[in-house]
Structure 1
Amino acid sequence: MRYINASVVLPEELVEQLQEYVQGEYLYIPARKNEFKVWGELSGARKEINKRNDAIVDAYLSGASVEELSEAFFLSTYAIRKIIYQK
């Protein structure tokens, strides 16, 4: 998340109204519910993790053991099992 100077994006009147409540502080304005993005959606991290998890499940279904997958993907055996049983 990046910060934006309110005076750059908001009308002066609105900035003045906000200053009655908050001055010189960070103010978080949440996204609308129908516009909310899940973690990693914007950066692509979620897509990469899903791709990795699919590879783990495919390898498991092809006969790789949980211990082998744990070493190959640098994850705990608990994390590997969790990924396998979620899919």
Structure 2
Amino acid sequence: MSYKKGAEVLPAHLLKEVQKYIDGGLIYIPKKSPRVGWGYLNGSRKSLEKRNMKIFQSFKSGMPIKEIAQSYYLSEETIKKIVYGKKQL
């Protein structure tokens, strides 16, 4: 996020109106477009979903949690969260 001077981006009449409410302070103006969730734009979320699906399939096929954790360099607790949290499968 970058700061812009109000006098440079707002018309004079609008700047005077805003100054009635907040004179000399900082104000955040949100984007019009809805916020995109974490990892959707750069593909991180999709990558993690694929990884988690592979982990779940390994568990479902009988691979021990300890072995899965070692092969994915994750803790056993993280693997448990992934495999026991897959209620929809």
Q: Percent identity?
A: 30
Structure with max Cα Rg = 2
Counterpart of 1:37 in structure 2 is 36
After TM superposition, the score normalised by the length of structure 1 is 0.68
Post-superposition, which runs of at least 4 consecutive aligned residues in structure 1 deviate over 4 A? 10-19
The 3-state SS of whatever aligns with 1:64 is: coil
For 1:72 and 1:29, how far apart are their aligned partners in 2? 46
Aligned length: 81
Q: Cα distance 1:60–1:30, how it changes in 2: closer, same or farther (>3 A)?
A: farther
Give matches, 1:75-86, under 5 Å.
Answer: 75-86=74-85
Give matches, 1:1-87, under 5 Å.
Answer: 3-4=1-2, 6=4, 10-13=9-12, 17=18, 20-22=23-25, 28-31=28-31, 35-87=34-86
Q: Cα distance 1:11–1:56, how it changes in 2: closer, same or farther (>3 A)?
A: same
Q: 1:32-85: CA deviations, max 9, x gaps?
A: 6x8221111111111111111001001111111100110001110000000001
Shifted more, 65-74 versus 36-45: the winner is 36-45
Does the 8 Å CA contact 1:6/1:15 hold for their aligned counterparts?
no
For 2:76 and 2:69, how far apart are their aligned partners in 1? 5
Which ranges of structure 1 fall in alignment gaps of 5 or more residues? none
